[in-house]
């Protein structure tokens, strides 16, 4: 099965794809959600994994709009518990950290 995700191998979308469809999938990595509808319409992908809710930020309205504008159908649902961690090098203390680089959602 050809499954399109937003992100790369190891991302949360990749984890969901394997938990939902199994490990025997052909993964199609997309840089953005907006790429995904075309992959379905031109039959490059058989399904897409698209986050539409987030327990931190709530509904992901742009993705609902993509679903509506492209006449897509939600055919399944999967819940994935997500944990974010602050990592540092061995021997460092929290006081040593001067800057944190992160996706904005992880900082909410």
- How far apart are the C-alpha atoms of 101 and 52, rounded to whole Å? 24
Mean pLDDT of the chain: 93
Q: For residue range 58-93, what is the model confidence (pLDDT) as tens digits? A: 899 999 999 999 999 999 999 999 888 888 889 989
Instruction: Tell me the residue range of the domain where 19 lies.
Output: 2-82
Question: pLDDT at residue 29 above 90?
Answer: yes
Tell me the three state secondary structure of residue 30.
strand
Tell me the three state secondary structure of residue 39.
helix
Count: domains in the chain: 1
Q: 100: pLDDT confidence band, cut at 50, 70 and 90?
A: confident
Structure confidence at residue 89 (pLDDT): 86
Q: Flag whether 57 is in a domain.
A: yes
Look up the CATH number of the domain holding residue 47.
3.40.190.10
Q: Flag whether 25 is in a domain.
A: yes
Q: Flag whether 13 is in a domain.
A: yes
| Per-residue exposure over 28-51, b if at least 16 CB sit within 10 Å of its own CB, e if not | bebeebeebbebbeeeebebbbbb
């Amino acid at each position: 099965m050809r499954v399109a995700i937003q992100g790369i191998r190891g991302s949360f979308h990749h984890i969901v794809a394997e938990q939902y469809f199994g490990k025997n999938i052909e993964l199609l990595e997309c840089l953005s959600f907006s790429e995904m509808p075309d992959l379905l319409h031109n039959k490059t992908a058989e399904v897409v994994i698209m986050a539409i809710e987030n327990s931190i930020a709530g509904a992901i309205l742009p993705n609902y709009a993509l679903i509506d504008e492209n006449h897509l159908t939600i055919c399944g649902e999967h819940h994935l518990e997500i944990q974010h961690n602050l990592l540092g090098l061995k021997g460092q203390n929290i006081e040593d950290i001067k800057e944190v680089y992160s996706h904005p959602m992880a900082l909410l």
